[in-house]
Amino acid sequence: MSFKPANNIQDLQYFGEFGGVNPSISDSSTYTFLSAKTMFDTFEGNAEGCYLYSRHSSPSNLYLGEALAAMEGTETANVSASGMGAITPVLMQLCGAGNHIVSSRTIYGGTYAFLKNFLPRFKIDTSFVDITKLEVVEAAITKNTKVLYCESVSNPLLEVADISALSKIAKKHNLKLVVDNTFSPLSISPAILGADVVIHSLTKFINGSSDTVGGVVCGTQEFINQLRNVNDGACMLLGSTMDSLRAASVLKNLRTLHIRMKQHSKNALFLAQKFESDGLKTVYPGLKSHPSHKLFKSMMHPDYGFGGMLTIDVGSSEKANELMELMQNKNLGYLAVSLGFYKTLFSSPGSSTSSEIPKEELEKIGLTDGLIRFSIGLDDDIERTYQMMHQCMIQLNILCK
Ligand SMILES: Cc1ncc(COP(=O)(O)O)c(C=O)c1O
């Protein structure tokens, strides 16, 4: 694949307003016009380079959006105040009353709750399917379906979506393929594989310092213009705008994403291999035992690896909680949701990030009580980390001596 997402970020060049190497931060909510006519034209969306009001767009937000569009290979992008602030307007822009969505059944709990509990109020229904079974996906499509929705690597089960194949199905039925790529930035480029819209929660790997929430929608200029339209654009009207100061700080963190992803992936692969050979039930797309290992390999930019997320199953929620508490006491990471931090984060999805999903559904999709989701950190000495984690598991009789 000739598309190089990290080169695209590296190749961005800025000459700030005062010659600074970083663009100046736009610290205004509103903008003056020298003529009333230009203000009118800007409202109509016809005044290139003019800013109206920062809920619509701001220079700092545009800089970050353009950098993320370069990374994903889309025409442009719109940043938002959170990942959910990117997902919800996209779905509401693409669907209206009477429309239908086909979604992967293993997705982030907040997205699941939005599709399952919130959108039906607007008469938008969703069928949840096993996204790895293409015939099941296609069979769920009805004449009212508008969107096919999935995560490239799903939260928390780490199922992998065949984006090229899903894109073919979407095109055949005239649907938009919307892909949340939060778990695999740089490793997978969904738009290059045929996705129409790519979303990220910037909160995670892209920002990488667990100090803010943020989101982005990457897509065509036409679609982003629709989202920003002052009359009927879901981003403009629902109002989950990112603050300019944050856009500037996320842009600075984006520049080290390639180095961080390599280290997250290297450490996660090392631990996954060790855990698996210790006999733990381990899920990581980089393991040959992962059902979609070959598919991931066929889609990935190999330099960035299989990502920083892995799961193990320790049998029961009691054991999972004991292990997480012990690992935190030994300073191996934090018992916390979210991902992409420099330290390892671990949580038990059934009682945290996926708790919006009903219990019967959790069982059906294989999300067990003993599952621990790890976002592996940037540890320089991962062998030392492994030895200490191994000791914790022996101490709790999860592993035998
Ligand atoms: C895959 C995925 N998408 C979207 C979100 C929502 O992002 P945010 O918390 O930034 O709104 C999350 C959050 O955990 C996530 O894991």
**Whether pLDDT at 363 is above 90:** no
Strand pairing of 197-201 and 215-219?
A: antiparallel
pLDDT at 352 over 80: no
Ligand 1: centre distance to CA 83 (Å): 5
pLDDT in tens, 256-266: 999 999 999 99
Q: Which atom of ligand 1 is nearest to the CA of 203?
A: 10
pLDDT-derived band at 359 (thresholds 50, 70, 90) equals confident
Assign 1 a pLDDT band (cuts: 50, 70, 90).
Answer: low
The residue whose C-alpha atom lies closest to atom 16 belonging to ligand 1 is 108
Q: What percent of the chain has pLDDT over 90?
A: 89
Q: What angle do CA 117, 236, 102 make, to 5 degrees?
A: 35
Angle between helical axes of 382-395 and 317-329 (0-180°, round to 10): 130
Q: Is 82 in the pocket of ligand 1 (CB under 6 A)?
A: yes
Q: Who has greater pLDDT, 361 or 7?
A: 7
Tell me which range, 3-17, 21-35, 192-206, is most confidently predicted by mean pLDDT. Answer: 192-206
| Whether residue 190 has its Cβ less than 6 Å from ligand 1 | no
Confirm or reject: Cβ of 205 under 6 Å from ligand 1.
no
Long-range contacts of 208-212 (CB under 8 A, 24+ apart): 208/253, 208/256, 208/257, 208/260, 208/340, 208/341, 208/342, 209/253, 209/341, 209/342, 210/338, 210/340, 210/341, 211/249, 212/246, 212/249, 212/250
pLDDT tens for 240-256 read 999 999 999 999 999 99
CA 241, CA 236: separation in Å to the nearest integer? Answer: 8
* Helix (H/G/I), strand (E/B), else coil: 251: helix
For residue 214, give the ligand 1 atom closest to its CA: 10
Q: Tokens for 21?
A: 């190497």
Residue whose CA is at the smallest distance from ligand 1 atom 7: 83
Q: Where residue 270 falls among pLDDT bands split at 50, 70, 90?
A: very high
Going by C-beta distance under 8 Å and a sequence separation of 6 or more, which residues neighbour residue 8? 70, 71, 73
Ligand 1 centre and the CA of 95: distance in Å?
A: 21
Distance 353 CA to ligand 1 centre (A): 9
Q: Can you tell me the distance from the alpha carbon of 278 to that of 125, in angstroms, rounded to the nearest whole number?
A: 44
- pLDDT digits 0-9 by tens, 104-141: 999 999 999 999 999 999 999 999 999 999 999 999 99
The Cα–Cα gap between 46 and 33 comes to 14
Residue 81, SS3 per DSSP: coil
Q: Is the separation of the CB atoms in 136 and 161 below 8 Å?
A: no
Distance 79 CA to ligand 1 centre (A): 14
Residue 361's pLDDT is what? 83
In the numeric block, which tokens belong to residue 36? 């009333």
User: What is the chain's mean pLDDT, rounded?
Assistant: 95
- Per-residue pLDDT tens digits for 176-213: 999 999 999 999 999 999 999 999 999 999 999 999 99
Q: Mark out the alpha helices in 192-335 (DSSP H runs).
A: 221-228, 234-238, 244-254, 257-277, 293-299, 317-329
Q: Which pLDDT band holds residue 40 (cuts at 50, 70, 90)?
A: confident
Residue range 54-76: mean pLDDT, rounded:
96
